[in-house]
């Protein structure tokens, strides 16, 4: 990860056609978070369904089930910071549980996945990621996105 100018390129791949997605907003969430954290480079954001996410989750995390977001940190620099893969199927099912629209849920998952790409891990740290994510949610997403459990894992 490069720190400094904080320009981040987001490559967005929408591999599903069932739901409309706020592509520009999701790019902006990542770019604003990168600017706030003074991170630059490139990130891929892949929006897909449950079946591809389930395969990735089984292969890399040995959990044969779909999940909402997976993160794959990359080598950094010009090669890329990593990939974020979101299941729109799971996100759509989870959004009402947290009182969010699908668009809001996708923004929360995008931010959460981006922090994992940067190396943060709520499963092993002392709450560092949770505190940072809460600050960034307030700053970048607003109070409407409020708390919700961190459910996502990275491989």
* Single pTM value for the model: 0.88
Helix 23-37 vs helix 102-117: crossing angle, to nearest 10:
40
- Alpha-carbon gap, residue 54 to 87, rounded angstroms: 9
37: Cα within 13 Å, side-chain hemisphere? 25
Query: Who contacts 61 (Cβ-Cβ below 8 Å, separation ≥6)?
Result: 70, 153, 155
Using the structure block, give the residue that is written with the tokens 């409407």: 144
User: How many angstroms separate the CA atoms of 69 and 60, rounded?
Assistant: 13
Structure tokens at 141: 């997403």
**Which pLDDT tens digit goes with each residue over 23-52?**
999 999 999 999 999 999 999 999 999 999
Question: CA nearest 148: which of 134, 128, 132, 127?
Answer: 134
Closest Cα to residue 11, out of 90, 100, 74, 91? Answer: 74
Q: Are the C-beta atoms of 128 and 139 separated by less than 8 Å?
A: no
Q: Which residues have a Cβ under 8 Å from the Cβ of 13 and sit 6 or more positions away? A: 44, 45, 46, 47
Q: What is the mean pLDDT of residues 10-31?
A: 94
What are the tens digits of pLDDT across the range 96-142? 999 999 999 999 999 999 999 999 998 888 889 999 999 999 999 98
Q: Are 148 and 65 in contact (CB under 8 A)?
A: no
Backbone Cα Rg of the chain: 14
């Amino acid at each position: 990860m490069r720190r400094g100018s904080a320009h981040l390129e987001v490559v967005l791949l929408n591999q599903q056609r069932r739901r409309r997605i706020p592509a520009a907003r999701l790019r902006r969430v990542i770019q604003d978070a990168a600017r706030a954290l003074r991170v630059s480079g490139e990130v891929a954001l892949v929006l897909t369904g449950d079946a591809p996410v389930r395969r990735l989750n089984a292969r890399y995390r040995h959990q044969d089930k779909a999940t909402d977001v997976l993160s794959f940190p990359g080598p950094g620099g010009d090669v890329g910071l990593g990939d974020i893969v979101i299941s729109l199927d799971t996100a759509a099912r989870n959004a009402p549980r947290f009182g969010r629209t699908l668009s809001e849920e996708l923004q929360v998952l995008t931010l959460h996945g981006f922090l994992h790409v940067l190396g943060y891990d709520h499963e092993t740290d002392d709450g560092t990621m949770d505190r940072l994510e809460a600050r960034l949610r307030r700053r970048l997403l607003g109070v409407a996105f409020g708390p919700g459990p961190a459910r996502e894992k990275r491989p």
